[in-house]
Amino acid sequence: MNIGILGAGSWGIALAVMLQKRSHKICMWEYNEKDARFLQQNRELPSKLPGVKIPQEIEIVNTIDTTIEMADVVLCVVPSQTMRATLKSAVSKVSEESLKKIRGWVIASKGIERNTLALMTDVLLEEIPGVTGEKIVVLSGPSHAEEVSRNIPTTVVAASENIPLAEEIQEQFSTETFRIYTNSDMKGVELAASVKNVIALAAGISDGMGFGDNTKGAIMTRGIVEMMRLGRKMGAQDSTFSGLAGIGDLITTCISKHSRNRQMGELIAKGYTLDEAKEHMTMIAEGVETTRSVYQLASKLKIEMPITTQIYKVLFEDKPVKEAVKDLMHREAKPEWW
């Protein structure tokens, strides 16, 4: 299979290195010309994946048309807030004929677009002429790049309304250490992948405040409830949130040393401003902008998401963390399920 990868950050590289072991032909696009030259020359990204070598067989380019024109399948791994600009660039530089020959678009980015509140599948459908849901797969689950790139056993889900395409991605992308299940609930998988980053910010704040296991267990459990509420309202399946893309990815993102969203939350709890915390991070914490989007979605759809609401107020309204914790704990008493 010829695979074009849009995005040469840690996740893009991890997937490229993994897929190359299946003898796929891979071309990976890096937006920044200087960064592309660095990767071409050094075959490594030491700031994010130290010690992980990019095989010479993987082509690294700064020209998006080169990546797409060679591909049977395009893997989208750019940050969610740059997805639309990336796809617009692709459409402006690639012929309609070349775009039509793409058999599948695989979304591995996690997030909800600010302002439009669009999922990444929606962005793809809006920007690529002629693409339908039949050509889209969402790849998600507990899968830190730091571990996938080092062959640590990992399990994810490939979701599509076109199950034969999901099964093809399952077969072609699976390795001895990367196991894929299929799922038909694309919307649920995307929502779970996005909202879990918001809850991970809360888990990081808990760590930064010096709270314990009780607190984090409560955050994760009630976080799943918020994910399910939003999912139900938007037509997703409850079972998705109990699976790999939901509770599996949530647990991993809330507890892992690799989790950039958990790290961001910890910095906020320690007194960093949002801008200071961003400067301190070496990678983008997608949960920050996703918090804004999820809060707006919850308001629009009239869904109560108390953890999300308090994280939004801490990040964007300068609410003190201690006050946010107090307000969560002093909410009206209720049954667990309501």
Confidence of residue 285 (pLDDT cuts 50, 70, 90): confident
* Mean pLDDT in residue range 251-278: 92
The pLDDT assigned to 338 comes to 64
CB-based contacts of 170, cutoff 8 Å, min separation 6: 158, 180, 181, 182
Q: In whole angstroms, give the CA distance from residue 205 to residue 226.
A: 18
Token digits of residue 194: 């996005």
308-314 contacts, C-beta under 8 A, 24 or more apart: 308/195, 308/198, 308/199, 308/226, 310/202, 311/198, 311/201, 311/202, 311/205, 314/205, 314/268
Q: In whole angstroms, give the CA distance from residue 337 to residue 101.
A: 48
Residues found in the chain: 338
Looking at the DSSP bridge assignments, the partners of residue 75 are 5, 106
- In order of their start, the domains of the chain are 2-184 (3.40.50.720), 187-329 (1.10.1040.10)
| Residues labelled catalytic | 196
User: What are the CA-CA distances from residue 41 to residues 13, 46, 146, 272 (Å)?
Assistant: 15, 13, 21, 36
* Mean pLDDT in residue range 234-251: 96
* Mean pLDDT in residue range 177-181: 98
For 300, the enclosing helix (H) or strand (E) is: helix 287-301
Q: What is the largest CA-CA distance in the chain?
A: 60
Mean pLDDT of the chain: 95
Q: In whole angstroms, give the CA distance from residue 263 to residue 282.
A: 11
Q: In whole angstroms, give the CA distance from residue 120 to residue 118.
A: 6
Token digits of residue 211: 């709270």
pLDDT tens digits for range 44-64: 999 999 999 999 999 999 999
DSSP 21-55: TTT-EEEEE-SSHHHHHHHHHHS--TTTSTT----
The pLDDT assigned to 223 comes to 96
The pLDDT assigned to 279 comes to 86
CB atoms within 10 A of CB 171: 12
pTM: 0.94
CA-nearest of 325, 300, 11, 297 to 145 is 11
* Mean pLDDT in residue range 241-252: 96
The pLDDT assigned to 284 comes to 75
* Contact between residue 137 and residue 159 where contact means Cβ atoms under 8 Å apart: yes
Q: Where are the alpha helices (DSSP H) in 129-280?
A: 145-148, 163-173, 186-208, 213-233, 238-241, 249-255, 260-269, 274-280
Q: Is the pLDDT of residue 283 over 80?
A: no
Looking at the DSSP bridge assignments, the partners of residue 112 are 119
The pLDDT assigned to 287 comes to 86
Q: Tell me, what amino acid is at 53?
A: K
Token digits of residue 62: 């700064």
Confidence of residue 336 (pLDDT cuts 50, 70, 90): confident
* Contact between residue 109 and residue 174 where contact means Cβ atoms under 8 Å apart: no
* Contact between residue 83 and residue 89 where contact means Cβ atoms under 8 Å apart: no
* Contact between residue 223 and residue 250 where contact means Cβ atoms under 8 Å apart: yes
pLDDT tens digits for range 103-150: 999 999 999 999 999 999 999 999 999 999 999 999 999 999 999 999
Confidence of residue 281 (pLDDT cuts 50, 70, 90): confident
pLDDT over 70 percentage in the chain:
99
Confidence of residue 286 (pLDDT cuts 50, 70, 90): confident
Q: In whole angstroms, give the CA distance from residue 139 to residue 156.
A: 7
